Amino acid sequence: MYPQGVNSATFSAGPLDGSLTIPQLLDRHLECSPDHPAYIYDDPKGNIVSIKFSQYIRAVHAAARLFLRDNLQYSRDGGATVVALFATTGMMVAGAMRAGMVPFCISPRNAAASLANLLKEVKVAAVYVSSDLRSVLSEGIRIYGCSVLVFDAPTFAKLQVETDVELSSEMLPPIPVASIALDSQNERNAESMAFRFNLNILDASLANPWFSTEDHCGQILGCHALPNFHGIGVLMQTWPITSELVVAVLRPTTPPIRPTAENSLKAMIATEPSLVLATPANIETWSEDPIGLKFMQSLKTLSYIGATLNKCSHGKDWDYISMREGCNIVRVPEDDGPGLYTHTYLVGPAFATTFTNAEIDGKPGCSLSDLLEQHPENPELHRVYGRKDDLIAFSTAAKVPGQT
């Protein structure tokens, strides 16, 4: 592990061994790192707006108080109250956790029928929805056939106003073990949501910065192109908290801006990140634009997630990856093609999985459907061939990845 923020005058990471939850770390930053920037964005006039921890955390506390004022009593299976966030409001995720609830981040791409199925499975206490998604939610609730409490998701501007009000009489509750529920669109089965608990969240927050080869303290990470309702888009919100990365995002508006390749690129150029995390579709679009190509060439690191990148002239070995240090990984040969295999990640002291679906030599683990190929010269490098559930089988018994 490479320590982060060691020489920073404005940031103190705090204990990251699981002794503090993410909301507790936020409360600690309000005291120990109030002047450190957490997020930046460009405003309509081209100015760069910096949100420091003091402003961000007070807005999170304001969101938590809004949840508590709504007096949600329903709890899932006798546990914590689950609230659905059908909105693009990052502060609401941390706010729900600070209020002792479980935020369930639902993709705005869901059609009404899919939304009804999620509401049926999860049995949320309430849904917080942005103004542009109300009609889809209404239709989803109609298909669901049961009444659901619905509240307007507070806008960024409203949360800023709330921070200016003296609310010392409204005490926030002690923080229980934190968790997040995610809409897992890639695994459409009976269990289409995944709960991530505090150790999983912390593990994901450490994965990239702390297991890299340098101190990323103060560097800008461009996340404009990431949807903030799936796993990495939600969990990237923890990176400022644990590693002092400054996350650059699209400006907050009402209704929220939906990220596209075009508006993300424009905002990234304005905020000047040295690191970028994006989807393959956006990277492929940028590569066909001279301005986008020049921007990507200026970056220190360009990472992608969520799908494979089309193979073209990217240079040798660009699509090979190494596995994170500390993971106990078992290679499982597959019959889908010569030399193909999957990885099962065993649960251990240094690595926690969200769920387990396999057992090897008596040890529980998480087996994924990503088919991998080994590098021809370096056995420590792997590349993704495809997914087991996406392969097309021919009469010759050969299997190739499906194309969309």
Count of positions (residues) in the chain: 404
Q: What pTM was estimated for this model as a whole? A: 0.82
> For 60-109, how does the pLDDT look when each residue is reduced to its tens digit (9 = 90+)?
999 998 888 886 665 555 567 889 999 876 789 889 988 888 888 888 88
- Going through 79-226 in order, the beta strands assigned E by DSSP cover 82-86, 102-105, 126-129, 149-152, 179-183, 193-197, 220-222
Q: At what angle do helices 22-32 and 198-207 cross, to 10 degrees?
A: 60
Structure confidence at residue 194 as a pLDDT band (50, 70, 90): low
Q: Which helix (H) or strand (E) holds 346?
A: strand 341-346
In whole angstroms, give the CA distance from residue 13 to residue 104: 27
Q: Which amino acid is at 388?
A: K
- Residues 127, 369: Cα–Cα separation, whole Å: 32
Confidence of residue 56 (pLDDT cuts 50, 70, 90): very high
Per-residue pLDDT at 290: 96
Nearest CA to 255 among 153, 160, 139, 182?
Answer: 153
Question: 52 pLDDT band (50/70/90 cuts)?
Answer: very high
Write down the pLDDT at residue 296.
Answer: 96
Model confidence at 313, in pLDDT bands (50, 70, 90)? Answer: very low
Give SS3 for 41. strand
Task: Please give the average per-residue pLDDT across 320-332, as a whole number.
Answer: 85
Tell me: the pLDDT tens digits for 348-364?
A: 776 777 778 999 999 99
Q: Which domains does the chain have, with CATH numbers?
A: 22-33+50-201 (3.40.50.12780), 321-401 (no CATH)
Establish whether the linkage from the previous residue to 401 is cis, with ω within 30° of 0. no
Is 242 in contact with 25 (CB distance < 8 Å)?
yes
- Choice among 40-54, 98-112, 213-227 with the minimum mean pLDDT: 213-227
pLDDT higher at 70 or 176: 70
Helices (H), 70-197: 90-98, 112-122, 134-144, 156-163
**Does residue 231 contact residue 237 with C-beta atoms inside 8 Å?**
no
- Tell me what percent of the residues of the chain surpass a pLDDT of 90: 37
Range from 64-73, 83-92, 112-121, 332-341 that averages highest in pLDDT: 112-121
Per residue in 376-404, pLDDT tens?
999 999 998 888 876 544 344 444 555 44
Q: Does 343 score more than 90 pLDDT?
A: yes
* CA pair distance 179, 366, nearest whole angstrom: 19
- Which residue in the block uniquely carries the two structure tokens 């021809």? 376
- pLDDT score at 402: 53
| Number of other CB atoms surrounding residue 142 within 10 Å | 10
Q: Quote the tokens at residue 133.
A: 């998604």
User: Residue 252 and residue 270: Cα distance in Å, rounded?
Assistant: 15
Decide: 60 and 95 in contact? Cβ < 8 Å.
Answer: yes
